[in-house]
Amino acid sequence: MGINKVQFQKGLSMAAFMERYGTEEKCHAAVVALRWPNGFVCPECGGTRHCTFESKGLHYWQCSACREQTTVMCGTILQATKLPLTTWFLGMHLLTQAKNNVSALELKRHPGVRYKTAWLLKHKLMHVMSEREASRQLDGRVEIDDAYLGGELPGGKSGRGSENKVSFIAAVQTTDNGHPLFVCLKKLEFTKKAIAAWAKTSLAASARVVSDGLWCFTAVTDAGAVHERTVTGGGAASAKMEQFTACPPAASSTARRDSRDATRNFQATASKVGIRRCKHSAGRFFA
């Protein structure tokens, strides 16, 4: 059986993490290097000349021009925190390395903090991750599809039109060979108006969108994107259509192999974010 490259991709081991970020000094140095990679820059006036001093266990920078005193954590989610930086860093590591998310309860056990602290830590980190991604626009080749989460209540219709599921759009930016680069998931109703609004914030005008025949997807052109729409019908065969494998008609065997990898990678990516392809329909995703 072949190895799934997405699932087997190299991560940062706990041993390597502790080696890099196991002490307050190492974490502090990492924040300084990230915030001021070319040396101190005053957040007030942009000046670079400064002196430093310690007060109440904190390291301060004082701008020589405007006399502003600041720590490296001012203006970040770390500002005024009472938690050690090692706890923040461990929280970031656990939250970003786990395949299936980390509960606040699990986050409480590893650094040994109270549940409420772990819950706040998790939500603050998720909030800044969400803010960071909010401005990202998918560009180049983008596969989109309708997806559905939930459905624990018995009865009702399955898939699209289900009363029990939450509908959202799943969009994946890929290379021309179909390798996934970025995933965007957004809860929305499948109407032309909602798709047009989503496209304006989440798609670059130069994006090339590939989708099945769901009528409302045509609204992505409102954002300037090119839309390649393919009516698939149902059945497993439609999942193998060239339009969804990013493989040109006269593809070489290498490209065809890349294409199969791309399909598997896309499915793995979808699986990683908690979505699986419904085996009865090529274009649908269900949780």
Per CB under 5 A, residues contacting Zn ion are 42, 44-45, 47, 63, 65-66, 68
Q: Are 61 and 39 in contact (CB under 8 A)?
A: no
Q: 170 pairs with which residues across the strands?
A: 145, 185
DSSP states of 111-167 as a string?
TT--HHHHHHHHHHHHHHHHHHHHT--B-SEEEEEEEEEE--SSSS--STT-SSEEE
Between 62 and 81, CB nearer to Zn ion: 62
Is the Cα dihedral 22, 26, 32, 34 positive or negative?
A: negative
Between 47 and 274, CB nearer to Zn ion: 47
Between 4 and 48, CB nearer to Zn ion: 48
256: number of Cβ within 10 Å:
14
Between 22 and 43, CB nearer to Zn ion: 43
Q: Are 42 and 48 in contact (CB under 8 A)?
A: yes
Between 65 and 236, CB nearer to Zn ion: 65
The residue among 171, 201, 175 whose CA lies nearest residue 183 is: 171
DSSP 3-state assignment of 224?
A: coil
41: number of Cβ within 10 Å:
15
Between 41 and 273, CB nearer to Zn ion: 41
Q: Are 265 and 178 in contact (CB under 8 A)?
A: yes
The residue among 2, 65, 55 whose CA lies nearest residue 257 is: 2
Minimum distance between the CB of residue 277 and Zn ion, rounded to whole angstroms? 55
Between 39 and 57, CB nearer to Zn ion: 39
170: number of Cβ within 10 Å:
20
CA dist 132 and 144 (Å) reads 21
Minimum distance between the CB of residue 54 and Zn ion, rounded to whole angstroms? 20
Between 67 and 280, CB nearer to Zn ion: 67
Distances from the Cα of 180 to the Cα of 46, 77, 216, 241, 264, angstroms? 39, 30, 24, 17, 10
Q: Are 149 and 271 in contact (CB under 8 A)?
A: no
